[in-house]
């Protein structure tokens, strides 16, 4: 019976070792998950900031293009009037 008890203790020790290794892997994985979540949050913050900058830039560009169109129109009208004189 002592042989069976020794085998049982050996299996138990192996099981404990395996559980310890699995727990260590789980902790490492949780650390990597936390790091990825932090990176994702940082990138999402950049997306918000860049989206706002893009919107402001697009609005500014639209105003500048409208102003350029208005100047082109005024130049064309002035040239047409000058040509009639």
Q: Rounded to an integer, what distance in angstroms lies between the CA atom of residue 10 and that of residue 19? A: 14
What does the alpha-carbon distance between residue 83 and residue 85 come to, in Å, rounded to a whole number?
6
User: Measured between alpha carbons, how far is 63 from 66 in angstroms, rounded to an integer?
Assistant: 5
Report pLDDT digits (tens) over 6-57.
778 888 999 999 999 999 999 999 999 999 999 999 999 999 999 999 999 9
pTM attached to this predicted model:
0.64
DSSP 15-35: HHHHHHHHHHHHHHHHHHHHH
- For the chain, give every domain's residue range: 1-60
* Cα–Cα distance, 71 to 54 (Å, whole number): 25
Residue 3 clears pLDDT 80, i.e. is over it: no
């Amino acid at each position: 019976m002592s042989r069976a008890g020794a085998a049982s203790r050996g299996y138990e020790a192996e099981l404990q070792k395996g559980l310890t290794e699995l727990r260590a892997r789980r902790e490492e994985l949780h650390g990597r998950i936390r790091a990825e979540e932090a990176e994702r949050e940082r990138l999402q913050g950049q997306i918000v900031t860049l989206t706002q900058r893009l919107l402001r830039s697009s609005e500014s560009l639209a105003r500048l293009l409208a102003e350029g169109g208005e100047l082109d129109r005024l130049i064309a009208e002035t040239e047409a009037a000058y040509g009639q004189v």
